[in-house]
């Protein structure tokens, strides 16, 4: 049992030690704030995007940095997860990307409003949030077990619509892309010409819901992809320069 003098020394000594630790941690946090909050990159576009986020009550459905409703997806890392091209198309017309599936309101954003919103979400994704949100466990397991194709450049020329329509966001080719489609089983496009005829591929891209009603692939034609652009995509996939499937070496 402590004597009065020992108890007094313990109290004041402990208080002093923890006070010093608290002050040191506070100073360290304040020193790291500029880098962790990404404050140096707050542009006018980011500010306007934040106003759009607030004025339209996006937090009523989505979460950002874990704050908000949990009805719609968490958007802290959405630019990293989906890519700017995909987000641009989705904000333009949510229903066109996922007909009958997505419940997001059509806000009829102007092009500059869409760019401002993307700038704000991109800024949010670059804030040091100490690992939040965590990567989905299933995605980590897929990354650990799926053979990785050699790092080669995509064959040129890549049609602009191939990236703008977010094809590369869901499907991988030559080991590139496919992040958004990993969890829904979107197949790689290497060697698609060995699996489907040109006519079958064209029909599938034009109206996947007609061929397979439960498919996760959205209807892109003609809302996002025109018939001419559809031809560009098919020509690209069936070009002799398009990568073929990579067979992992036997152990």
Reference 73, options 100, 50, 103; nearest CA is 103
Residue 165 has pLDDT above 80, yes or no: no
* Cis peptide, bond prior to residue 247, ω within 30 of zero: no
Q: Which residue has tokens 């020394």?
A: 9
pLDDT of 21 over the 60 cut: yes
Helix spans in 126-226 (H): 137-145, 160-164, 167-170, 198-206, 208-211
Q: Which two tokens stand for residue 189?
A: 């496009």
Determine contact, residues 132/66, Cβ cutoff 8 Å.
Answer: yes
Q: How many CA atoms does the CB half-sphere of 194 hold within 13 Å?
A: 10
pLDDT reading at 142 higher than 60: no
CA angle 38, 40, 44 (to 5 degrees): 105
Q: What is the pLDDT of residue 97?
A: 64
CATH homologous superfamily of 40-125: Cytochrome c-like domain (1.10.760.10)
What is the residue-averaged pLDDT of the chain? 81
Q: Is the pLDDT of residue 185 over 70?
A: yes
Q: What is the mean pLDDT of the segment spanning 223-232?
A: 84
Across the range 79-83, mean pLDDT stands at 81
From CA 169, how far away is CA 179, in angstroms rounded? 6
Nearest to 38 by CA among 51, 56, 50, 54: 50
Q: Which of 9, 110, 20 is nearest to 56 (CA)?
A: 110
For the chain, domain boundaries: 40-125, 137-237
Dihedral-angle region of residue 128 (phi above 0 means left; psi in -120 to 50 means alpha; beta otherwise): beta
pLDDT for residue 34: 74
Q: How far is CA 246 from CA 61, 124, 148, in A?
A: 41, 37, 9
Whether residue 183 has pLDDT greater than 50: yes
**Tens-digit pLDDT profile for residues 8-19:** 888 889 999 999
CA 242, CA 157: separation in Å to the nearest integer?
10
Give residues with Cβ within 8 angstroms of 246, minimum separation 6: 147, 149, 150, 175, 190
> What is the enclosing helix (H) or strand (E) of 74?
none
CA distance 22 to 205: 59
Rounded to the nearest 10 degrees, what angle do helices 44-55 and 111-125 cross at? Answer: 100
Query: What pLDDT does 176 receive?
Result: 75
Taking alpha carbons only, the member of 161, 157, 180, 163 closest to residue 223 is 161
Q: Half-sphere exposure of residue 100, counting CA atoms within 13 Å on the CB side? A: 8
pLDDT band at 38 (very low <50, low <70, confident <90, very high): confident
């Amino acid at each position: 049992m402590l004597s009065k003098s020992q108890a007094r020394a313990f109290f004041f000594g402990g208080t002093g030690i923890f006070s010093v630790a608290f002050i040191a941690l506070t100073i360290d946090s304040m020193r790291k704030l500029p880098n962790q909050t990404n404050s140096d990159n707050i542009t006018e576009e980011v500010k306007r995007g934040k106003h759009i986020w607030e004025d339209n009550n996006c937090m009523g459905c989505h979460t950002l940095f874990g704050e908000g409703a949990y009805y719609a997806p968490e958007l802290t890392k959405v630019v990293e997860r989906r890519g700017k091209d995909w987000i641009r198309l989705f904000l333009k017309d949510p229903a066109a990307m996922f007909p009958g599936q997505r419940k997001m309101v059509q806000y009829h954003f102007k092009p500059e409003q869409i760019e401002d919103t993307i700038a704000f979400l991109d800024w949010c994704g670059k804030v040091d949030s100490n690992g939040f949100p965590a990567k989905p466990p299933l995605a980590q397991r897929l990354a650990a077990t799926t053979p990785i194709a050699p790092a080669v450049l995509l064959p040129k020329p890549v049609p602009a619509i191939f990236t703008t329509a977010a094809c590369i966001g869901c499907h991988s080719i030559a080991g590139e892309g496919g992040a958004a489609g990993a969890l829904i089983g979107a197949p790689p496009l290497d060697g698609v010409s060995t699996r489907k005829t040109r006519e079958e591929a064209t029909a599938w891209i034009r109206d996947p819901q007609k061929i397979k009603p439960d498919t996760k692939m959205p209807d892109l034609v003609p809302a996002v992809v025109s018939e001419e652009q559809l031809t560009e995509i098919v020509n690209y996939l069936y070009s002799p320069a398009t990568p073929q499937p990579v067979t992992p070496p036997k152990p």
